[in-house]
Amino acid sequence: MTERGQERGWLRTVVHRHRALAPVAVLILLCIVVAFFNARFVDPWNLVRLLNAAAIPIVLTMGATFIILMGSIDLSLEGVLAVCAVLVSVLVGNNLTPLNVGFVAVPAAILLGAALGGLNGVAHVRLRTPSFMTTLGVGFACVGAATAFLQGDTVRISDKVFRGMALERFFGVPAGVWIAGLAVLVALFIQERTRVGRWLYALGGDEATARQAGVPIEHTRIVAFMIAGGFYGLAGAMSAAQLGQGHALIGQGRLFMTITAVVVGGTALSGGVGSVLNSVIGVLIVVVLSNGMILMGVPPFVQMGVQGVLIIVAAALALDRSRLAIVK
């Protein structure tokens, strides 16, 4: 290898390492800036509120990260979350049905989410349609099904024990935060300790090479969508417990924040680069930024504009252009 080639290789290595550490540096810098302008940011009560606000987005990003790692996109998130939240709401004590199965409703929501994720995967693979179109259709169908089932009404949860899933505190930290932490551990195990986790990186890196290496492409895609759906189902149960109700629009606005957090965390939309831990950092960046702007009195419409700019900048920084001959 020539001296110039060695120099370029060393430079790529340095850039790659710095790119991986960039989200952490951004989070630390952001915390320092917000704390400088408003000391209430570091108040323990505010920090606990930040963690609570990040709990459900973290669970959602655990699922979305797996889809983006393999170079696909899942737009069904809000619809799947809504259907699962409605299912949980009618299974626990409520004002609509006589059912009251307690926490059994949570695994039921996870299984429903996984089934809907499987539908996404099978339709995407068998019909050979783009993932964004397939999942968009399934997401709309889910919202429509939830609306039709409830006739546009809202189910109100009366089960206080179930609501404790979001409201109870252990060691001063809301239960939802502990559940989110457990979800991260499960996602990390899937990513690091299973063949599916390794195959997702292979698909996102170079699908043609992965196929030649014997990776079961179609099977991996379907399983990845099922795993993502399971996390969305858990987030649906957490949302219902947090709000004390279930309705067709309970997931509204979650998709934008989830995709933003995954990309801001450093997971490339082109696939093959990133991790679930990166997405946790991404969620914290988005939540801290939002909380900081509120503390600093930034108008809501400006906050939305800042978030829009953030996702564009993050996507530009996370994208490894050396791997792309064409950007489309």
Mean pLDDT within 145-174: 89
8 Å CB contact between 267 and 69: yes
Secondary structure element (H or E) that encloses residue 174, with its range: strand 173-174
14-23, 64-73, 160-169, 214-223 — which is least confidently predicted?
14-23
Whether pLDDT at 241 is above 90 = yes
Q: Considering the chain, what is the average pLDDT of its residues?
A: 86
The whole-number pLDDT of residue 17 equals 54
**pLDDT of residue 209 exceeding 90:** no
**Do residues 67 and 131 touch, judged by C-beta distance below 8 A?**
yes
Q: How confident is the model at residue 11 (pLDDT cuts 50, 70, 90)?
A: very low
Q: Alpha helices, DSSP H only, in the chain?
A: 3-37, 44-69, 77-91, 105-126, 131-150, 160-167, 175-193, 195-205, 207-212, 217-243, 254-264, 276-295, 300-318
What is the pLDDT, as a whole number, of residue 207? 84
Residue 41 has pLDDT above 70, yes or no: yes
27 pLDDT band (50/70/90 cuts)? Answer: confident
Give the residue, 254 or 318, on which the prediction is more confident: 254
What number is the average pLDDT over the span 299-312? Answer: 76
- The band of 182, judged by pLDDT with boundaries at 50, 70 and 90, is very high
Mean of the pLDDT values across residues 286-311? 81
224 CB neighbour count, 10 Å cutoff: 26
* Range of lowest pLDDT (171-180, 275-284, 303-312, 319-328): 319-328
What is the CA 46 to chain-centroid distance, rounded?
A: 23
Identity of the residue numbered 25: A
